[in-house]
Structure 1
Amino acid sequence: MGNITDQYLAILEQQREEMFQTLEKVDENLIWQRPKPGKWSIGEQIDHLRAITKFMRRFIAVLWPLLFLMGWIRRNKSYDAEMDDVYERPGFPMNVGWLWPPKYKPENPVSVAVLKQALGEEHDNVKSFYRNKPEHILGNALVYDPAIGWLNMLQVLRVGIHHDAHHYKVIKGILESLEKPESEGS
């Protein structure tokens, strides 16, 4: 893939597929088991990703006419597509997931296949939005995030990748904690 947009979209898909490959070996009942009271299950973590991706995609799509105009006006300026992992920043607010709650919960579970399809569809919608948009426009179309600051549309995509990766790491931690009691008894 030649451009940054395609590279980022490939990362989004690759890390999702790797996470679901890990879940293929897991008992589906464990997907909805909460690791601690008040903490989301694996299924809730995944459905939260679907919910926030859907919200952000729709939000950006509504703003796109204005963002495109801004990007067009600024199109000859340089821009940075890379973005540090904001979820690794000390003091970064990590307690706002409740703004994008999962639809599926332990009391309303679905199969891993349903979760995979729903998140895959949202990622496909993100791809459809980003594909065929000129990078110099995306790189100069700016939005403001109160926790991060000004981001161009390529950086927005990068932050989304970091967000998914953060939750995939949480899911791996949940899996490890759920597997320990079984392996200790063996």
Structure 2
Amino acid sequence: MKGDAPALLQALDDRRRALLASLETLDPGTLQARPAPGAWSILEIVEHLVVAEQVILQGLPDPAALVDRPRSLRQRCTYPLVLLVLRLGIPVKVPSRRMLPTGTVPLAELRDRWDATHRWLRAYAEGLPPGGAGRAVFSHPVCGPITLSQALRMDRLHLEIHARQIKERRPA
């Protein structure tokens, strides 16, 4: 891995593991409790984080199947705006229906799926040829094509927003 990708990936994975570890002591009722009608439970938030990564990473295909996608000026400008929205914690609708949680997946299965996603992501990043990290091979529903580093930065901010929501839902 070249550039900032190793540090970004490690920071994301460390934060993800810490979040999951903090949830293991919670009982199923707490994990499934909704703070208000229509609001997501802790379990649904975790499921959203898992499926959102899988959507952005295009379902974890064979890395050879990923192609560099051209980016328009509009798409290049949208990425910093999405990062700003994430940094400021501005509530927005889920950009793709595929990122919505079902609320039916147990925490252990979500952990397994999330671990598999990160194993794929690490293997993809480690297998990149020189200059490969700059290829826009991932696709965000709002930003369009994004690079590995962009995906990791966005993912970390997304995780932090939802980690705060989870913290608010945990019992005192």
Shared fold (TM-score, shorter chain, > 0.5): yes
Structure 1: runs of 5+ lacking an equivalent: 71-82, 181-186
Q: Contact (CA 8 Å) 1:46, 1:115: kept in 2 or not?
A: yes
Q: Contact (CA 8 Å) 1:47, 1:119: kept in 2 or not?
A: no
| Shift >6 Å, 4+ stretches | none
The answer to whether residue 12 in structure 2 is matched with residue 15 in structure 1 is: no
Q: Contact (CA 8 Å) 2:57, 2:138: kept in 1 or not?
A: no
Distance, in Å, in 2 between the alignment partners of 1:158 and 1:34 is 29
Identity of aligned residues (%): 23
Describe the shift of the 1:85–1:116 C-alpha distance in structure 2 as closer, same or farther (beyond 3 A): farther
Describe the shift of the 1:86–1:156 C-alpha distance in structure 2 as closer, same or farther (beyond 3 A): farther
The 5 A counterparts of 1:56-75 are: 56-58=56-58, 64-67=66-69
Select the structure of larger CA radius of gyration.
1
Partner residue, 2:93: 95
Partner residue, 1:78: none
Distance, in Å, in 2 between the alignment partners of 1:146 and 1:114 is 25
Taking only aligned residues, the RMSD between alpha carbons, in angstroms, comes to 3.2
Partner residue, 1:47: 47
Describe the shift of the 1:98–1:5 C-alpha distance in structure 2 as closer, same or farther (beyond 3 A): closer
**Per-residue deviation, 1:43:** 0.6
Deviations 1:131-182, CA, capped at 9 Å, x for gaps: 221463322537775745774331122111211221111111111xxx24xx
- Which TM-score applies when normalising by structure 2? 0.73
Structure 2: runs of 5+ lacking an equivalent: 71-81
Stretch moving more, 55-64 or 117-126: 55-64
Q: Contact (CA 8 Å) 1:144, 1:150: kept in 2 or not?
A: yes
Describe the shift of the 1:95–1:128 C-alpha distance in structure 2 as closer, same or farther (beyond 3 A): same
